[in-house]
Structure 1
Amino acid sequence: MSPAQLTTGICARLNSSENDDDDLFNSQPIVQFLSFKRVPPSGGTSTMDRYRVIVSDGEHFLQSMLATQLNPLVEEEQIVKHSIAVIEKFTCNLVQGKKLLIILALRVVQKDAEKIGSPGPLHPRGGGSGPSIETPPTPAAAASPAPSTSVTTTAPPPQPTRQPTQGSRSGRAAVYPIESLSPYQNNWTIKARVTSKSDIRTWSNQRGEGKLFNITLMDESGEIRATAFNAAVDEFYDRIQEGKVYYISKAKVNLAKKKFSTVSNEYELTLERTTDIEECPDASDVPTVKFNFVTIAGLQEIPKDAVCDVIGVVKEVGELSSITSKATNKEIPKRELTVVDDTEFSVRVTLWGKQAEQFNVTDQPVIAFKGAKVGDFQGRSLSIMSSSSLIINPDIPEAHRLRGWYDAIGAGQTYQSHTSSMPSGGGVNFDRAEIRSLSEVKGSDLGMSDKVDTFSSRATIMHVKADNLTYPACPAQGCNKKVLQMGDSWRCEKCDKSYPKPEHRYMISMAVADYSGQAWFQGFNEVGRVVFGISADDLVEIRDRDDTQYNRLLEKTIGTTYNFACRARQDNYNDQVRVRYGISRILPLNYREEASYLSNLLLRNEWSR
């Protein structure tokens, strides 16, 4: 296959570009990828990897970053070293005197290709110093240059349907993707859709009184939360409308306070009276709300206080009621909905404030909830916060599918609630007299009813799953939530604190067997301590220090028999119903007790004859 033609000179043009060069930023240049480097999250609340890319036009190379929505192209090897692609949408940031190309959309022209030309580095703008550019290997000086047929002499013509991603000649500053914003930039503009808008809230404390409202903004690169205080509330509350698209600039970029936000972004915006907000009449290139739905049955796997997106049919609408806030002594309106989906589970969803007061739908609509908070009071429940949003009968495939299912069969079905499927509390005890074989457990469909079933079993460990065997947990007593590393410390969002190191905890999954068959059992920290005989912290230290000793510890667990007290419950994974067996208690065999039990059993049987 002959090599695709690259757009000669594009790296130099981008390196020296200005924000008002519409022709450049509306072009779709063809470049070659010289290298990829994964950049792990650098701290904050960001948990997504980024990919740094070196692109070439055959003459020069330029440092670039892929937008996170393009990560699968690298991870699934749809683009590899020396692949050639059309950059369909991009922008540029100036970082310490050097241009950084941010690739927002691309189309692969040739996945496997030979390296074209002998590209060299570009000089920083203005000769300033900046971060070093990762230099790809170049041929020796005596090597022959690549044939000139491999590069074009002109850039592709602008696409007439493309909308500018950079500043126009009307004087507007560069339009940046949301994911590129940081506190180190000043002159930027974003073009974003308002996906949610809260009510105006007031506060009063020792420092005074005030009011605020917040909005969630979204473009094709991500989301960000913005908050207006006091005078900015008067300036913008009536002007900003949910669902519309705006150009926004001159807002302050701060680290996000995740305690008050459900948005996945390590930064947030503060709207000030000097902030420029201009409605954009052409919103065709800004997406509507993006969802990442969890099934209602799958809520059991979502931890308490996490946020998620859920879609379902409103089966019941509760009456409007209220509670009195302990903090403000004011009454807060609330309304509870019962929402179902085709996993045949139901969940209680609580609306608050104006959303509760204004909800008057009675025709069992399909509703998509974005950013709902997961609770565990009497089982799994959902709460719609000020930063959450709900869309009634959205025009999306998931909604059409649920509408057809409910009208056909769903209206007449009964549903399992998470409240009734949760254990009522208290431990599950091991009972030798009630030991069941694994085949009997499976054959009697334990866990398939609308409640949790318990059973006792004696089984031998055949395999321990080494992946995700432990997780870094908050060291605060009673917390146990997963923590994220931020530089030299570990951050717990629940406690809103950072710690010098985590306390690792077990999250163990193992295949066990008895004479009748095999099953997978899951357990947590105490189960892991019994199986391995050491703490999770010690296991992690051994794993990081000595692979041989770590593998020996894993092998040592095989063939050991335990008594188990278990819970069986049903869940839904990838639209498949399955039963999970959770370990409530694990007991090493005590042969004296086992012998005594068998002796007494024999005596009772003899006496009964």
Structure 2
Amino acid sequence: MASDLAASKITPGVLDAIFNDPERRATDFPVPVCQCVQIKPLASQGNGAERYRVVLSDTKNFVQSMLATGANHFIHDQKLKKGSLVRLKQFQANALKGKKILVIMDIDVLEEFGEPEKIGDPQALKMKDEEEDVKPAPGAVSGAGFYGNKPAQQPAAAERSIPTRTGPSSSAAHGNIYPIEALSPYAHKWTIKARVSNKSEIRTWHKQSGEGKLFSVNLLDESGEIKATGFNEQCDQLYDLFQEGSVYYISSPCRVQLAKKQFTNLPNDYELTFDRETQVEKAEDQENVPQVRFNFTNIANLQTVEKDTTIDIIGVLKEVADVNQIVSKSTSKPYDKRELTLVDDSDFSVRLTIWGKTATAFDAQPESIVAFKGAKVSDFGGRSLSLLSSGSMSLDPDIPEAHKLRGWYDTHGRSNTFASHSGMASAGAAGGRQDPVMSIAKVYEDNLGMSESTDYFSTKATIVYIKQENFAYPACLSEGCNKKVTDMGDGTWRCEKCDISHPKPEYRYIMSLNVNDHTGQLWLSCFDDVGRLVMGMSADQLMALKDSDDPAAGRAFEEANCKTMLFKCRAKMDSFQDQQRVRYQVTGASPVNYTNEAQKLAELIKLYNI
């Protein structure tokens, strides 16, 4: 029977060995196999990553387990299911909430055995008598109701003060190392081994109640990442000790609390606050901890990401703008910013803003591969990104995603035309609505834009003419403004809305296109993101060519003609010089995907039974 074959693959008794006799587990059960008998999603805080608890059985015992977020894909891909057999490749036995729990970092799902019913009659794992290292925090959520749990009183353990040490240390001196993924307010005594992936500058504050300072570090191990913050005395004590890229042992007492999502870019529900007795030691072994952990979002998929979400992104650097300075409306302080344009193999582009010293020191060349960790998603201009102060940037990182992008770009990406997310939020209510694709004649026949409401449609058409007069306007450099600025004649440009002057403007497209298809012609108006896509350069660059009487400006308009694109449009009645007319505005554009078009034609042909 299939169930008998599956049962023969399971390793009976391995769970008892993992928790009560790890030496025997290592020699007798080097690659254990268990059955998953329950899966339960756990509620996350804010934008924290999804977490899952599973119950594993070795046919004799069962134990609660927690899946590291790096292994969530086994559930998302529907590989790990109730009944599945799993080979445990990387795991850690720990105590949480007064219960023994297995933290699983990596597994193999033995899909060939399917999802049989529970094998054997496993019992809750009994532990050897030992002093509990865990006590529940006040208000802790009970584990009752989870597989095999019964309400129980947990004995309290006396706290130990551990002096801070700074000398190099080995793993042997620390015994059982906690994975970051397992940290929670319910864990009392623990040590993590983690690499500092990011270190902030020292920030100070001054209030009526007093003043202070703080710094933070992002800590990384194989299971996950967590932010840790030091205030005042801990800032003085630990700031110089922590170095980006180095590995440390960090031991409690150290407060574990719910993460303040507005101040962190990490997908962890918790964060750490250093205590005056927190022990920090630099590790002798600096190699066996990951350098950096990314969870990249494809540029084309940014439209599905909620505003203000923090993401990681990697792309080819297509354009690098000059450093500009803006003045904060709230503090009146000046800030340096630089805009970058990234593209990837989804054939989409996105603008990403970097700030402060990162902006002024940026010296990467176009066509470099750049990875960003901790970029905030904005709906400005459809979709754009801003690197947070807690974020980081890696130039030409030695990771598979970067090598893949380099191969794609060098092979054919360099000559591709890239779409943007311009105006998608307004055009589709940010929900990815599929507007009907119409011929130009159909747009007129259906009287789109003639009613009081706005009509949306898409059309596939070819650009036949672009008005070269007034194709751009001088815009304010302040973040989120883009209002037209006035040349004051003294070398400055003034924005009335922001009530500030800039040394120069940023030119932005405001173009009129005439497009044709096989049924007729249509005048379309478009703005900066679409203009960049059509012209293949920024309005600043094109204006510089025009002002210098460079023939390249005329060639740029000629090359933009005869481009066939899919235009997402809206039609709305407008009043111009006391006359009512329908205005057709482009809210998004993309190159024609000929593979998709061919598939649509093939489906259409099938309908005719040809």
> TM-score range with shorter-chain normalisation?
0.5 to 0.7
Q: Deviations along 1:233-265, whole A, 9 cap, x unmatched?
A: 232223222233322222221111111112111
* Equivalences for residues 135-154 of structure 1 within 5 A: 135=148
Q: Kindly provide the amino acid, as one letter, of the partner of residue 38 in structure 1.
A: K
Q: Is the 8 A contact 1:320 1:357 kept in 2?
A: yes
Quote the offset at 1:268 in angstroms: 0.6
How far is the alpha carbon of 1:267 from its aligned partner? 0.7
Q: Give me the whole-angstrom Cα distance separating, in 1, the residues matched to 2:129 and 2:69.
A: 30
- Offset of 1:269 from its aligned partner? 0.9
Match in the other structure for 2:374: 371
- Counterpart CA distance in 1 for 2:593 and 2:585 is 24
User: What's 2:248 paired with?
Assistant: 246
Specify which of 276, 295, 299 is matched with residue 296 of structure 1. 299
Distance in 1, matches of 2:299 and 2:119, equals: 52
For the pair 1:69 / 2:70, whether they are aligned, the reply is yes
Q: 1:313 aligns with which of 300, 316, 327?
A: 316
Task: Give 2:399's aligned amino acid.
Answer: I
Q: Within 5 Å, which residues of 2 pair with 1:112-191? A: 112=114, 118-123=121-126, 126=129, 134-135=147-148, 170-191=172-193
**Counterpart for residue 34 of structure 2:** 32
Provide the residue aligned with 2:219 in structure 1: 217
Number of aligned pairs?
Answer: 434
RMSD (Å), alpha carbons: 4.7
Is residue 53 of structure 1 aligned with residue 40 of structure 2?
no
- Aligned residue number for residue 255 of structure 1: 258
Q: Quote the offset at 1:392 in angstroms.
A: 0.3
In structure 2, the residue matched to 1:87 is 88
Which among 10, 15, 18 is matched to residue 11 of structure 1? 15
Aligned 8 A contact 2:423 2:588 in 1: no
Measured in 2, the distance between the counterparts of 1:282 and 1:575 equals: 53
**Partner of 2:100 in structure 1?**
99
Extract unaligned runs of 5+ from structure 2.
Answer: 136-141, 150-168, 430-434, 436-440, 449-455, 467-508, 516-567, 571-583, 598-610
Does the aligned pair in 2 maintain the 1:34–1:53 contact within 8 Å?
Answer: yes
The alpha-carbon deviation at position 224 of structure 1 amounts to 1.3
Q: Secondary structure at the match of 2:385?
A: strand
Call closer, same or farther: CA 1:123–1:575 in 2, change over 3 Å.
farther
Match for 1:233: what amino acid?
Answer: C
Q: Secondary structure at the match of 2:236?
A: helix
Q: Measure, in 1, the Cα distance between the counterparts of 2:19 and 2:192.
A: 21
The 8 Å contact of residues 38 and 51 in structure 1, kept in 2 or not, is answered as yes
Counterpart CA distance in 1 for 2:33 and 2:318 is 53
Partner of 2:391: 388
Measured in 2, the distance between the counterparts of 1:303 and 1:572 equals 25
Equivalent in the alignment of 1:202: 204
TM-score, structure 2 as length reference: 0.59
Give 3-state SS (helix, strand or coil) of 2:363's partner.
coil
Query: Post-superposition shift, 1:177?
Result: 1.6
Kindly indicate whether the alpha-carbon contact (under 8 Å) linking 1:214 and 1:226 is maintained by their aligned counterparts in 2.
yes
Whole-angstrom distance in 1 between the partners of 2:299 and 2:148: 50
Distance 1:412 1:8 in 2: 58
Paired AA for residue 367 in structure 1: V
1:265-284 mapped onto 2 (5 Å cutoff): 265-284=268-287
Measure, in 1, the Cα distance between the counterparts of 2:341 and 2:80. Answer: 45
Matched, 1:323 2:333: no
- TM-superposed deviation, 1:70: 3.3
Change (3 A) 1:445 1:15: same
Which amino acid in 1 is paired with 2:107? L
Output one character per residue of 1:270-295: Cα deviation in whole Å (capped at 9) or x when no partner: 12443222233435443333333334
1:34 and 1:82 in contact (8 A); partners too: yes
| Residue 351 of structure 1: aligned partner | 354
Report the CA distance between 1:206 and its aligned residue.
Answer: 2.1
Residue 71 of structure 2 aligns to a residue in which SS?
helix
Kindly tell me: are residues 323 and 124 of structure 1, through their superposed partners in 2, closer, same or farther at Cα, counting changes over 3 Å?
same
Closer/same/farther in 2, CA of residues 257 and 121 from structure 1, 3 Å limit: closer
**Mapped contact 2:382–2:425 kept (Cα < 8 A):** yes
Quote the Cα distance in structure 2 between the aligned partners of 1:443 and 1:406. 29
- Once the two structures are TM-superposed, the CA of residue 436 in structure 1 deviates from its matched residue by 4.0
2:451 maps to: none
Write the letter of the residue equivalent to 1:55. S
Alpha-carbon distance in structure 2 between the residues aligned to 1:413 and 1:12: 58
Specify the code of the residue in structure 1 equivalent to 2:57.
V
Do the aligned residues in 1 keep the contact of 2:51 with 2:67 (CA within 8 Å)?
Answer: no
Offset, 1:567: 7.3
SS of the residue corresponding to residue 199 of structure 1 reads coil
Report the Cα offset of residue 53 of structure 1: 0.8
Structure 2 Cα separation of the partners of residues 447 and 221 of structure 1: 51
SS at match of 2:268: coil
Secondary structure of the structure 2 residue equivalent to 1:384: strand
Distance 1:209 1:24, change over 3 A: farther
| Inter-partner Cα distance in structure 2 for 1:443 and 1:326 | 41
Secondary structure of 1:388's counterpart equals strand
CA distance in 1, matches of 2:357, 2:403: 28
Give the drift of 1:213. 2.1
Q: Could you tell me whether the CA contact under 8 Å between 2:89 and 2:106 is conserved in 1?
A: yes
Distance 2:228 2:186 in 1: 17
Residue by residue, what CA displacement relative to the aligned partner does 1:46-68 show, whole Å, maximum 9, x if unpaired? 45241321322x43333333334
Measured in 2, the distance between the counterparts of 1:73 and 1:191 equals 26
Q: Distance in 1 between matches of 2:380 and 2:143?
A: 51
Structure 1 CA distance, aligned partners of 2:356 and 2:104? 41
Q: Displacement of 1:370 after TM fit?
A: 1.5
Residues 328 and 64 (structure 1), Cα distance of their counterparts in 2 relative to 1, 3 Å cut:
same
8 Å CA contact 1:55–1:63 kept in 2: the answer is: no
Q: Percent identity?
A: 40
Shift of 1:214: 1.9
In the alignment, does 2:267 pair up with 1:264?
yes
Amino acid at match of 2:387: I
Structure 1: runs of 5 or more not aligned: 137-166, 456-520, 524-564, 579-609
Query: Equivalent residue of 1:357, what SS?
Result: helix
Deviation by residue 1:74-94 (Cα, 9 ceiling, x = unmatched): 565545555544422222232
The alpha-carbon deviation at position 196 of structure 1 amounts to: 2.0
Q: Given the alignment, which residue of 401, 420, 431 partners 1:398?
A: 401
